[in-house]
Structure 1
């Protein structure tokens, strides 16, 4: 992509519009269309995107928001950021995605919203979750930071809930060359509130008047130009990830169990996550073979010190707690070759604890 990225840099440099400007406007239109939604508002990062959505929905002190315990802490940070309380619930054992039954059981008189995290590139069961949120009059928000381009029953991530938050952190499926984020929504009024709050609360008619107390969370023109280049190749990159994951599934030893894919889902495999019983032995074998690996995430949110309240112990959530001890992220990228997948799987097969040959 170097030539296209160089051209994007020179185009941005020539415009002199480094915050907002024509590149941001063009990217917002292109990404909204890609997500099959009416509006996209570029913001500073994915955490801001989620917090701005909650703020625009009127979520605040005294409210509770249901979130899965198995997620990156940013999901819960956004809830705390608007003064509300995250209510952590358990996840499905096969997919590690938000469990609709657990969501319904957690709803109380202060519950106002549910954040469905599309973890590891697969969309949560928004159909079942929407039935729950509709029944109780709650807002359904998508945390799509790991799911650019994913589909569920034919619908894109970002097109189902009242709004979706995306991250463009460099390692994402659609990543910038720095930080960035976006709010995608079909609600024009919600998009307008997000845009105003992200730009210091400015009036639509007079940039010197600030009608609400906002913040500074705007997408850089250069990052938008980069994202426009990368968006054109996103579907092909996602297809390469899908092929790599299919290869993993065919070659992994029995003791490396990949997460399930729901029949109606078309995931984009942001990460290649498996569950293993002896993670220490497994990761040592990978390290000794010169193969990188990661942990996403070894401490569930309800056990993070930042979210413990009033000295109370964390609530046990059996599936999330067990998964935190077993999850392991294998190498995954659009450039991963079949030979590299085979090498990873051969090393894993050499670990007796995984059912391979010693």
Structure 2
């Protein structure tokens, strides 16, 4: 059993993906070729956002958005400490200061009720993370941002395809940033990402920044980066789009099945809560366990692969510890010690899922 089954996905899409790749090899436009614009147009239609700017990675997407906001040294960006390092990493590389606010223990997403107390005169933006595939409470976060004149950047690296109150992730705030890393809900075969916005001025800035700050060839109007997404990777995403809605439905169904089966087999196990006004596309199906290392070892013996996203919150990481006191964000600290991700992908079979559930119930004793 694979933790994420990309081989079965490719087998189902082989002809479409191969044809898409071959078309790029035939026309030879490997940088900003026609597939780049085609993918961007397809994803704007999917999300409802006015603009999609493809970029080299989800990490690059965050950096470009912060640069488009003209973040200045010392400017503060409120975010979660319970996320991958890229979230805070880009704030620091852009010259900003990450201000860590704790998560909701039930969802592991940024707690909107704690944000306002963290706002200062230096705050420029809020960067919630749509963790594990579920969007944070974006209406509440946007309302706070509006009161204080702040931008909101949704780090949606794990939630492309998810909905919040009937709207798509990546079209919920000033910016939405996603990743097409192979293991994401919509992945390419390398690095790739996208920025979504409905602000014309910010979209123009992002397009210029991703190509070394050029408004036209060799006219550099702003500081930029080499942040383009390769045409070949856009072709791979296009090759997956026909099946994507089916995959999202499968992820939703598998998430519900995991919940039902785990509640029956391991009634004491704590599961992530999915709020009633949104869904979760389960980039990782994650549960909370005590004695995690022993549980992982038992699952490995049973042939069930697992992963931990994430074992140490950012304010306990050496690179970011000086941005917060060690005992801040207690829910993030607790989650980091307990989260365990189980095999999850659209091609996970019922038999495989039953094997995971039975093995986990046995491992919990």
State the TM bucket, normalised to the shorter chain.
over 0.9
Residues 150 and 268, structure 1, Cα contact 8 Å, conserved in 2? yes
- Map residues 1-358 of structure 1 onto 2, 5 A cutoff: 1-204=13-216, 207-252=217-262, 253-309=266-322, 313-351=325-363, 354=364, 356=365
Pairwise CA RMSD = 1.2
Residues 255 and 277, structure 1, Cα contact 8 Å, conserved in 2? no
Q: TM-score, normalised by structure 1?
A: 0.95
Q: C-alpha distance in 2, partners of 1:18/1:226?
A: 13
Q: C-alpha distance in 2, partners of 1:288/1:255?
A: 22
Deviation at 1:316, TM superposition (A): 2.2
SS in 1 for 2:98: strand
SS in 1 for 2:248: helix
SS in 2 for 1:266: coil
After TM superposition, the runs of 4+ consecutive aligned structure 1 residues lying more than 6 A away are none
Q: C-alpha distance in 2, partners of 1:297/1:239?
A: 26
The unaligned stretches of length 5 or more in structure 2 are: 1-12
Q: C-alpha distance in 1, partners of 2:200/2:349?
A: 43
**Range with greater deviation from structure 2 (273-282 or 288-297):** 273-282
Q: C-alpha distance in 2, partners of 1:8/1:71?
A: 34
Residues 244 and 337, structure 1, Cα contact 8 Å, conserved in 2? no
Q: TM-score, normalised by structure 2?
A: 0.93
TM-aligned CA distance change 1:27 to 1:235, over 3 Å = same
Deviation at 1:283, TM superposition (A): 0.7
Residues 255 and 276, structure 1, Cα contact 8 Å, conserved in 2? no
Which digits, 9 at most, give the CA deviation of each residue in 1:279-334, with x for residues without a partner? 12211110111110000001001111111228x75242110000110000000010
Equivalenced residue count is 350
SS in 2 for 1:290: coil
Deviation at 1:28, TM superposition (A): 0.6
The unaligned stretches of length 5 or more in structure 1 are: none
Q: C-alpha distance in 2, partners of 1:209/1:199?
A: 11
SS in 1 for 2:127: strand
Which digits, 9 at most, give the CA deviation of each residue in 1:28-77, with x for residues without a partner? 11011111111001111001101100110121212000001111111001
Residues 103 and 332, structure 2, Cα contact 8 Å, conserved in 1? yes
Residues 315 and 325, structure 2, Cα contact 8 Å, conserved in 1? no
Deviation at 1:338, TM superposition (A): 1.1
Residues 314 and 321, structure 2, Cα contact 8 Å, conserved in 1? no
